[in-house]
Amino acid sequence: MGLGELFKLNFETPWKKARAIVARWSKHSLTLDTHILIAKTFIFFVFVNIINTVMVTAQQLDTIQKHLLDFVWRGRSKVKMSVFAASLENGGLKMLHVCNVVHTLKVKWMKCISDDRGFTWSRYL
């Protein structure tokens, strides 16, 4: 079994779940803020476990980001991602930037591993 097949197997179930969530919520006429909330809370959350446990390529992260933006905008993105992901105070809408979130999750894991509070499991790493 090749690496490409493993990636496909790992992401097949989350993609099905994400598509089902998109199909369920696309039926409603929702505001942009609500679409962002659903993308962050329900759709991206489907991928968090896989992202934390399996190496994910930049291309896969870009694909996830594209699908989130397609759901939020109901088609092509109308605003630059840097503006869209900015805080409300800076004129943005606080949309998550998938690559930044993934890097943050990885750094948090490294901090937990390097933190020596006497946890038994950390001694084995």
> Could you tell me the pTM of the whole model?
0.79
**CA distance linking residue 116 with residue 90, whole number of Å:** 38
List, for residues 93-106, the tens digit of each pLDDT value: 889 899 999 988 88
List, for residues 11-26, the tens digit of each pLDDT value: 888 889 999 999 999 8
Is 124 a residue whose pLDDT tops 80? no
**Rounded CA Rg of the chain:** 17
Tokens, residue 74: 């109901």
List, for residues 60-96, the tens digit of each pLDDT value: 899 999 999 999 988 777 788 888 888 889 888 889 8
Tell me which H or E stretch contains 16: helix 3-26
